[in-house]
């Protein structure tokens, strides 16, 4: 007969294997660093959620130690300090020469602090939120701003720390999650479905054939208009009209145009006539006696003619200054 497998035996075997695996992991994890370690205390003002005992301590990404203890307070911590003390174990074989450049002492740590060496919390995994301690050279200004949380040097060396934006990142992520949870996905889904239905209905009502027919008809009419010659005739009439308007406008220019030519001609003839009259007067003066009645009447006539000539001269000068007076007439000022 075949024996049925014992559930208790299988469960015990699985339990023993699991415990053995955990023990081996802890053993090799603890022995991956030498027993010659230097313990330091790090004070963090921010939350250390995600940091656990055994978390790695790295120098520029290279493991150099591990977190040994996470405490609430340590002996010798200032009363006004609310920072969380983290005790880390640093492998001397890896760090004494490569990182610290010699024996680790409070004086040496102060020199390193002045050079910018400090510790900070870094994110190991975004999914799990696991943290680790990172040693790196920060800006000298940030590292020098660190104030000790110990009243006096104690048994543990204090490594300066700098704050990070992990808390801000966590707060931003929490805000995003909160906003996402408050979002009304049901209403959004309804509105989206309504929009899709409206677009579908509009596409169904779209008369593609009718639009195409209208475009084709407009193109045919345009082609016929161009081929008939009406477009060319229209453009010719427009050009002719523009030339006529330009001619009319130019005629009002006393320096260039028909009106200007007429005014110049009248002025020339007038002044020529005046020269002739002056010659006649001189001839009469020679033949007539100054005290005769004919001379008296002739002189009066000449005076009248002179006044008329002066009036005509003013009229011509006025036309030169106001060419539009021939069309609109003379503008008189109204008496108040």
Q: What is the mean pLDDT of residues 133-142?
A: 79
User: How does DSSP classify residue 131?
Assistant: E
Return the minimum-mean-pLDDT range out of 66-75, 109-118, 324-333.
Answer: 324-333
Return the pLDDT at 3: 62
State which H helix or E strand residue 148 sits in. Answer: none
**Buried b or exposed e, range 23-45, using 16+ CB within 10 angstroms:** eeeeeeeeeebeeebbebbbbbe
Other Cβ atoms within 10 Å of 77 Cβ, number: 21
Return the pLDDT at 310: 73
Return the pLDDT at 336: 42
Q: What is the mean pLDDT of residues 280-290?
A: 56
Report d(CA 314, CA 319) in Å as an integer: 9
Report d(CA 176, CA 267) in Å as an integer: 94
Return the pLDDT at 154: 74
Which pLDDT band, with edges at 50, 70 and 90, does 56 fall under?
A: very high
For residue 244, CA distances in Å to 234, 262, 319 come to 15, 19, 23
- Output the pTM of the full model: 0.42
Highest mean pLDDT among 20-24, 205-209, 238-242, 294-298: 238-242
Identify the CA nearest to 114 among candidates 88, 86, 92, 145: 145
Check pLDDT > 90 for residue 85. yes
Return the pLDDT at 164: 78
Place of tokens 């695996």: 21
Check pLDDT > 60 for residue 174. yes
Q: Exposed, middle or buried: residue 118 (CB in 10 Å: 0-12, 13-18, 19+)?
A: buried
Q: What is the mean pLDDT of residues 179-187?
A: 74
Other Cβ atoms within 10 Å of 159 Cβ, number: 22
Check pLDDT > 80 for residue 127. no
Report d(CA 83, CA 73) in Å as an integer: 8
Check pLDDT > 90 for residue 110. no
Q: What is the mean pLDDT of residues 314-332?
A: 64
Using an 8 Å Cβ cutoff, are 288 and 294 in contact?
A: yes
Return the pLDDT at 118: 87
In the three-class reduction of DSSP (H, G, I as helix; E, B as strand; rest coil), residue 290 is classed as: coil
**For a pLDDT cut of 90, what percent of the chain falls above it?**
9
Check pLDDT > 70 for residue 96. no
Q: Where are the alpha helices (DSSP H) in 147-229?
A: 166-182, 185-205, 208-227
Check pLDDT > 90 for residue 70. yes
């Amino acid at each position: 007969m075949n024996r049925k497998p014992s559930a208790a035996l299988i469960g015990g075997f699985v339990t023993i294997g699991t415990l053995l695996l955990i023990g081996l992991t802890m053993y090799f994890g603890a022995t991956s660093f030498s027993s010659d370690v230097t313990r330091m205390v790090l004070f963090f003002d921010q939350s250390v959620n995600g940091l656990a005992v055994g978390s790695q301590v790295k120098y520029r990404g290279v493991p150099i130690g591990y977190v040994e203890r996470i405490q609430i307070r340590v002996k010798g911590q200032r009363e006004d300090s609310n920072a969380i003390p983290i005790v880390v174990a640093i492998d001397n074989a890896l760090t004494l020469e490569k990182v610290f450049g010699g024996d680790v002492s409070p004086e040496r740590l102060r020199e390193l602090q002045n050079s910018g060496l400090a510790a900070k919390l870094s994110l190991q995994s975004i999914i799990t939120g696991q943290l680790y301690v990172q040693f790196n050279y920060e800006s000298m200004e940030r590292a020098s701003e660190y104030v000790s949380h110990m009243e006096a040097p104690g048994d543990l060396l204090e490594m300066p720390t700098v704050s990070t934006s992990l808390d801000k990142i966590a707060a931003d992520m929490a805000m995003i999650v909160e906003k996402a949870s408050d979002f009304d996905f049901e209403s959004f889904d309804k509105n989206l479905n309504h929009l899709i239905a409206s677009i579908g209905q509009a596409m169904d009502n779209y008369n593609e054939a009718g639009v195409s027919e209208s475009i084709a008809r407009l193109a045919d009419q345009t082609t016929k208009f161009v081929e008939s010659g009406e477009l060319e005739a229209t453009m010719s009439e427009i050009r002719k009209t523009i030339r006529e308007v330009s001619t009319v406008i130019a005629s009002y220019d006393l320096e260039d145009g028909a009106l200007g030519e007429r005014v110049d001609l009248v002025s020339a003839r007038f002044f020529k006539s005046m020269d002739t009259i002056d010659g006649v007067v001189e001839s009469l003066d020679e033949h007539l006696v100054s005290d005769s009645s004919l001379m008296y009447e002739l002189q009066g006539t000449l005076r009248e003619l002179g006044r008329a000539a002066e009036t005509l001269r003013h009229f011509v000068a006025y036309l030169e200054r106001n060419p539009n007076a021939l069309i609109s007439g003379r503008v008189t000022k109204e008496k108040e």
